[in-house]
A and B are shown apart, each in its own frame.
Chain A
Amino acid sequence: MTRGLSKAPASSPELPPDAPDARRGALRFLRRLGRQRAFWVGGGLLAFLLVFSFLGPLIFAYHAGETEIRVAQQFLPPSLAHPLGTNVLGQDELAQMMIGGQAPILAGFEATAIAAAIGILLGMAAGYGGAAADSLLMRASDVVLSVPQVVPILLLDALLQPGTQVLVLVVALTAWPPMARAVRARTLALRSLPFMEAARAGGAPLGRTLRRHLLPNLLDDILVTGAQVFANVVLVMAITTFVGLGLPPPWNWASMFAGDMNGVLGGQWWVVFPPGIAFSLLLLSVSLLSEGLRHALNPAYGGQAAA
């Protein structure tokens, strides 16, 4: 998101006198970003989770990825050898948590990116394309919104057993309406403002008008809604995985719940808490990150009180 802004001056050779100004603008943006506590906390959290899930298994190789069942070591409480104890199969819980983060994080960002792309395109088309396109696209979004997302995912999952990529696509296809609505609302509000009129009157082609003049002004809405879409797709995939469909093996934070349900009944708290806390931290980090970026992008949007 930010790259588009900082790159803008370099790719506008037709406006040389503006370039230093724009570069200063990018610098100001980075300085504002540096002052956002939400950005640092969220970014730090997300960086930690990424290192934990993707580098962690390389460093903490203890039984990581091992699927051998050691019933004798079932449900060992936390100790030096097993910092988070062991699970129902006698596997190290910390190693499981590390590997278990990979699928939700990757699939979450992929699904969010696809859903956001669909939502932004349809939202701009609805807001900019006239009444007929608007009415058609909003009806389509109503239909998608009126079906619980889990239902089509369960149907496809149970009947076709698709791989992760197909699942991500299906989840994204159920998750775009909030983005489309947010983008449409802002587009409708912006389309008749003077700078848009000027772009049209100056004879800018449609694609360029939308990309260079409209899109940058939608960024803060896209960031806010994007974080909500991320939370939504991650939780929906968690739910479908939890009921035994959804993300295929290897295990992830959501399928760990299902496997460790017996741990709950036996009172083994160390298998109960970590996966849920991990989900919460992931959603929290993305939400804080988007909050910080939004405040830095548009300081007038709610001020810095929430940072």
Chain B
Amino acid sequence: MIAQYLARRLLEAALAVLVVALLVFGLFHLMPYNVAAILAGPRATEAQVAATAAALGLNLPLPLQFLRWLGDLASGGMALAVQMAMPTLELLLLASAVGLALALGLAELQVRAPGSVWDRLAATAAYVLYTLPSFWVGFILIYFFAIELLWLPATGPTLDPASQRAWPLYMVLPVLTLALTTIATWSGGVRAAIEESLRSDYVRTARAKGASERRLFRRHILRNALLPVITTAGMSLPGLFNNIIAIEYLFAMPGLGAGLIGALIAFDFGTAVDLVVVIAVVTVLGSLVADVCYVLADPRIQYR
């Protein structure tokens, strides 16, 4: 049953990625640029431009070019793109973990004493974070922690070996920036889920049996409230990528954002398409994993 569900979802995911790849591929070939002339260089002769075009297969019909590109992707292009995307994925995973922990912490504050100063403070903080551009939050963090206090480096881990050796230190500010953005998108959902769980019978039962508030929150409320949060987390991945691109730029980090902007500026359409496909794979897989986790975590859900 679950295998069938998984197979169908994987097929759907693959189809979605294929559609994205086709769109991006088509978009590039609609562009009014002579890619071969650009790549061959400004002083290339016509024969050299023609040779470049032939080597890249730019003279082939479009469907054939697409198949050729798929073949390239399978035979190493994908591995290269994933390698370029690794720093981004590290940032994404770390920030999601930190953001989720912070959002749950905030929600616990709010739910333990509804209407208290803490509750209103947490709600206001989440709301203000939601209205701030992510890179500006990073700006402020750099200003205080790197410039005024001199506690942390002002960039993320760059290609400089020194920053790679002190990797955790360099990751603090980028991860914190993205995590704060994540809180803004998640905290509302987390709080709503917890409040719904608070109204349920099993929480009343647990409270009636004398469970401490702490145990009540950790054992009964949190576990059930996590379910909708999983879905939100999976769906918010594309939005996170918007912010990741800005944050990578701000902290001068290598990764998908830098790779994509660099490839576009250099008219390296091949690399750009590969990177977009990696992004699509990550977001589609993210929502797939979220759905599967949901199904596994809640036995009441029927696979459809």
B-contacting residues of A (Cβ < 8 Å)?
A: 142-143, 145-152, 154-155, 158-160, 231, 235-236, 238-239, 242-245, 254, 257, 261, 264-267, 269, 272-273, 275-276, 279-280, 283-284, 287
- Could you tell me if B242 and A238 are in contact, using CB atoms closer than 8 angstroms? no
9 A/B residue pairs, CB under 8 Å, sorted by A: A147-B20, A150-B245, A152-B27, A159-B31, A238-B135, A242-B249, A264-B143, A269-B143, A276-B136
Q: How far is the CA of A112 from the CA of B284 in the complex (A)?
A: 26
**Residue of B with least CB distance to A239:** B246
Contact A243 B261 (CB under 8 A): yes
Interface footprint category on B: 35 or more
List the 3 closest pairs (A to B, CB-CB), nearest first: A148-B241, A276-B136, A158-B264
Residues A280 and B283 in contact, CB atoms below 8 Å apart: no
In the complex with contacts A238-B133, A267-B148, A276-B133, A147-B279 CB distance below 8 A: yes
A-side contacts of B16, CB under 8 Å: 142-143, 146
Indicate if the CB atoms of B243 and A239 lie closer than 8 Å.
yes
Closest residue of chain A to B33 (Cβ to Cβ) is A159
How many angstroms between the C-alpha atoms of A254 and B242 in the bound complex? 15
- B19 interface hit (Cβ, 8 Å): yes
A257 contact from B135, B147, B235, B279, Cβ within 8 A: B135
> B128 interface residue, CB < 8 Å from A?
yes
Contact surface of B with A, Cβ cutoff 8 Å = 16, 19-20, 24, 27-28, 31, 33, 128, 130-137, 139-140, 142-143, 147-148, 154, 235, 238-239, 241-243, 245-246, 249-250, 257, 260-261, 264-265, 272, 276, 279-280, 283-284, 287
Least CB distance, A154 to chain B, in whole angstroms? 6
Query: How close is A156's CB to chain B, nearest CB, in angstroms?
Result: 8
- The majority secondary structure among interface residues of chain A is helix
Interface pair A146/B287, CB less than 8 Å apart: yes
Q: Which residue of B lies closest to A260 (CB)?
A: B139
Contacts A148-B238, A245-B261 known; list 11 others, CB within 8 Å: A145-B235, A146-B287, A148-B241, A154-B245, A154-B260, A159-B33, A261-B250, A276-B136, A276-B140, A280-B128, A280-B131
**Closest residue of A by beta carbon distance from B130:** A231
CB distance from A46 to the nearest CB of B (A): 13
Docked-complex contact B131 and A231, CB < 8 angstroms: yes
Task: Please report the C-alpha to C-alpha distance between residue A235 and residue B129 in the assembled complex, in whole angstroms.
Answer: 12
- Contact (Cβ within 8 A) B241 A242: no
Report Cα–Cα, A245/B27, bound state, in Å: 18
Please give me the residue from chain B that is nearest to A254 by CB atom: B133
Bound-complex Cα distance A87 to B66 (A)? 49
Query: Which residue of B135, B241, B264 contacts A155 across the interface (Cβ within 8 Å)?
Result: B264
Q: Which partner residue on chain B sits nearest A282 by CB separation?
A: B131
CB-CB under 8 A from B33, the residues of chain A are 159
Q: Which residue in chain A gives the minimum CB-CB distance to B263?
A: A158
**What residues of A have a CB within 8 angstroms of the CB of B148 in the complex?**
267
B279 in complex: contacting residue of A148, A275, A287, CB < 8 Å: A148
Enumerate chain B residues within 8 angstroms of A154, measured Cβ to Cβ: 245, 260-261, 264
Chain B residues closer than 8 Å to A242, beta-carbon distance: 133, 135, 246, 249-250
The residues of A that contact B132 with a CB separation of less than 8 Å are: 276, 279-280
Residue contact A143 to B139, C-beta cutoff 8 Å: no
B120 CB to nearest chain A CB (Å):
12
Q: Please state if A149 and B242 are interface contacts (CB–CB under 8 Å).
A: yes
- Shortest C-beta distance, A276 to chain B (Å), equals 4
* Least Cβ–Cβ distance between A23 and chain B, in angstroms: 37
In the assembled complex, the Cα of A235 lies from the Cα of B20 at a distance in Å of 23
A19 to B31: give the CA distance in the assembly, Å. 56
Across the interface, do A276 and B139 meet the contact criterion of CB distance under 8 Å?
Answer: yes
Question: Are A243 and B249 neighbours in the complex by a CB distance under 8 Å?
Answer: yes
- Of the candidates A146, A160, A231, A239, which one forms a contact with B135 in the assembled complex, judged by CB atoms under 8 Å apart? A239
Are B31 and A160 in touch, CB under 8 angstroms?
Answer: yes
A264 to B140 CA separation, bound complex (whole angstroms): 8
Q: In the complex, which of the residues B142, B242, B272, B283 contacts A150, with contact meaning CB atoms closer than 8 Å?
A: B242
Contact B238 A146 (CB under 8 A): yes
Chain A residues with CB under 8 A of B272: 155
CA distance A158 to B261 in the complex (A): 8
Taken together as a complex, chains A and B put the C-alpha atoms of A265 and B74 apart, in Å, by 44
